[in-house]
Each structure stands twice: as C-alpha cells, then as structure tokens.
Amino acid sequence: MKYLNTFYFLLTLFSINFLIAQEKPKLLWFDATANFERLSYPDSIKYYLEKTKELGFTDVVVDVKPITGEVLFPSHVAPQMNEWKGFIHDREFDFLNYFIEQSHKLKLKVHASLNVFVAGHNFYDRGLVYENRIDWQSINYTDSGLVPITKLKHKYSSMTNPADRNVQLHELEVIKELVRKYPELDGIILDRVRYDGIESDFSALSKKLFEQYIDEKIENYPEEIYKWSKDSLGSKIRIEGEYYKKWLEWRASVIYHFFEEARKEVKAINPKILFGDYTGSWYPLYYEVGVNWASKNYDPFKKYSWATENYKNYGYAELLDLYTTGCYFFEVTKDEVERINAETIKRGEAAMGQGKEYWYSVEGSAEIAKEVVMDAVDVIGGLYVEQYKDHPEQFQRAVEMCLKKTDGLMIFDIVHIINYGWWDVLHESLR
C-alpha cells in the first residue's frame, strides 16, 4: 500500500506539472526580413502555421514593421516593404490577413509586432532616416564626439530619438492604423521602444526637452550629463556628470509616457486587443536604453546606484496585457555563469554588458524579471535560438527553464528552427 500511495502521489505531481506546462502560453516569433520570402506564399504560411500548432505552441508573433521603418501591410502612413534582398513580394497579397485567418483556424492567437523607435538598417543604408526623415535619427555622444547613428556602421539599427514628438506621432499613427485595419488581431507586441543605448540621444532637441523637465539651463552640454576620459591603462571611459542620474530618469519618463499614450490609443480602437511589449531581461543594466519595465511598485532606488528616488514612477508593467522578456543567455543555470571564462563572453544585445552576475543566465534573468515585475503582468521568458547553434541539448534545457521559472515561453525565431532542422528538438523540449 505504501508503494501504491507513493506511485499515485508521483502520478498526481506529474499530472499537475504537465497541466501547468500545457496552460502556459507558448509564442513562436516570425521575423519580417528573415522570413520575407517564406511568408510571401499562402501555402508556405499554412505549412509553417500547421507545424507550429503540431509542436504545441499557443500563439504566433508576426513582425510587420522591421527596423527599416517600412511595414508589411498596406499603409497610408508608412512605406510598404515589397522587396527584400532582391525578392519582390506580391503587393496584392495581404499576407497578414491570411496569416490571421489561418492561425485562427488552427486555434492559434496572433500578435503583430512592431519595431518602434527605429527607422533604418545601417548595413543596407535603407529606411526612413536614409530618405526623408534624416532629422529623426539618434545623435550619439561617442568617444569621438556627437555622431549621427547612420554613421555608426557597427550598429545595424538606425534608432530614432524617442523624445522627438514628430517621431512619436508617426509611430502612434502606424500602430493605430494596424489595429484599425486588422480587428481580428489578438494582440500587438511593441519592440525597440527604447533609446539606442547610453550614448543616445544627445541632439539639441533632447537638451531642450531635458532642460524643460528639470526646469534648469545646462551650460556645459553634454559634459554635464557625462564626459569622456581615460583610465590608467589609456582606455576611454565615461565620467558621470552632475545631471547624469536625472538624465536617466527623464529618458525613462519619455518611454513611460509613450507607452501610456500608445495603450490609450490602441484600446480606444479595440478594447479587447492585448497590448504587449518585448524587452531584454537584464534589468540592472536596462536603464542604459532608457527603459523601466518594472512594476510601478518596484523601487530600484533601494538597490541600484543609477536610480533616482523618482525613477520608480516610470515603471510601466501595469500598462501591459502581455510581456515577454529575452532571457538571451547561453548559460541556463546560475551555477553555469560562475564557471564561464570572462574572456570568452560574447553578448551583442543592447545594454547587455559582459558581467558574470547570476542574472546572466536563463534561470537568473527569469528570476530577476519576476522580481521587478511583481505580478503586474505575466512574464513570458524568451529565448534567442541562434545562441544555441550546435548545442541542441542546451537549447532544450533553456526551454525547460523558461517554462519552469516564468509564466510562458517565447521562441525567437522560427527561421533558426528551420535552418537547424530543430523541429524534433523543439518538440521534445515542449513535451
């Protein structure tokens, strides 16, 4: 009887865990340019959506506004992307409408994603900031001085200035047009609602708006935000100025108020649509891109030296219906981070850094995301498949960790699953 009771207990425990895993949302992302040709044919869309359903995903995310500022749907607001790398898309085929129809037939929810504060691809000199919106581009304060981002060719995204009201109004019009045109969408997910990095934006406009925010005039700009110097080894470093922390606070306020306005506009058109966001999970460094994705009840001032007392006022988690965060690390557990060689670290995401803190892992980043969001919205842990190339077992462990530590799973991007032939790998992970 003792062994029988133990068996039933373990069976019940397994069943509960299985049901929890089944109930959690699982999102598969379809990037715009990586899948441009693939999503240009009805039979191809249908095929990959059926594969997605078979794997056990519940939701799909389709990118309709890549970093060039163009859109993949008929628009009166933004230029439509009908060509990429020589392939010409049939202008008459509304792929997003077909994507929604086929997804709903399969009981898959559909979220359209938009890259917001970016309007150019630096590797191809393509996009709005290369055409008639050059004044929208970010001005970065580098160790070589003030440089337009289109001149910084090591950066592939030509980010705009989020504080520029003309930029904001344009992006809001694009978002509203999308929501209005496709009422059957289940949700939208905003991406790159941020600054390029700690070096942006240092335009004359940003100076003016910051001065209005603090109600003071800055005589020595941008050095009173920070200035460049050299350390004992001759390497260039930033030295914080008098207004540095207030500058970080102001940038967070810019992003917060945009989210506030965007949600209001979206819900006015379609109250039922889910209003979502993607960010990176490395919260201790995310101030560098001007974003506070924490709950308004979380106070970073108590823990982080970069935060002001008012920084917490610009936490926007409560404005979201859906939130997915990139747990974009090869190391799955916190223990693995402690064992890595610091000289071999290669991380390329914005504000990610090169440290060895516990949150530089899937497990640790999931934990810190849950900590700062404070249940204001479910946290869906995301994985960047390319980081696990040639390491399918590590990828499987990362999938399992996301499902264990967060409220769901997001996989970026289907193109890597296709290229690596990892359908079985992913199927096994989701089981």
**Nearest-angstrom CA–CA distance, 170 and 158:** 16
Helix (H, G, I), strand (E, B) or coil at 337: helix
Helix (H, G, I), strand (E, B) or coil at 288: helix
Q: How far is CA 305 from CA 87, 107, 177, 287, 308, in A?
A: 49, 47, 41, 11, 8
DSSP letter at 80 equals: B
Are the C-beta atoms of 332 and 342 separated by less than 8 Å?
Answer: no
**Nearest-angstrom CA–CA distance, 53 and 427:** 11
pLDDT at 20: 46
**Nearest-angstrom CA–CA distance, 319 and 9:** 41
pLDDT at 352: 59
One-letter-per-residue 3-state SS of 99-151: HHHHHHHCCCEEEEEEECCEEEECCCCECHHHCCCHHHECEEEECCEEEEHHH
State the pairing for strand pair 26-30/59-65. parallel
Residue-range domains of the chain with CATH: 26-430 (3.20.20.80)
pLDDT at 10: 52
pLDDT at 171: 98
pLDDT at 353: 67
Are the C-beta atoms of 51 and 11 separated by less than 8 Å?
Answer: no
Per-block mean pLDDT, blocks of 10 residues, the chain (431 long):
52 49 88 97 98 97 98 97 96 96 98 98 97 96 97 97 98 98 98 98 98 97 97 92 98 98 98 98 98 98 98 98 97 91 57 78 98 98 97 97 98 98 95 80
Residue 250 exposed, middle or buried by CB count within 10 Å (0-12, 13-18, 19+): buried
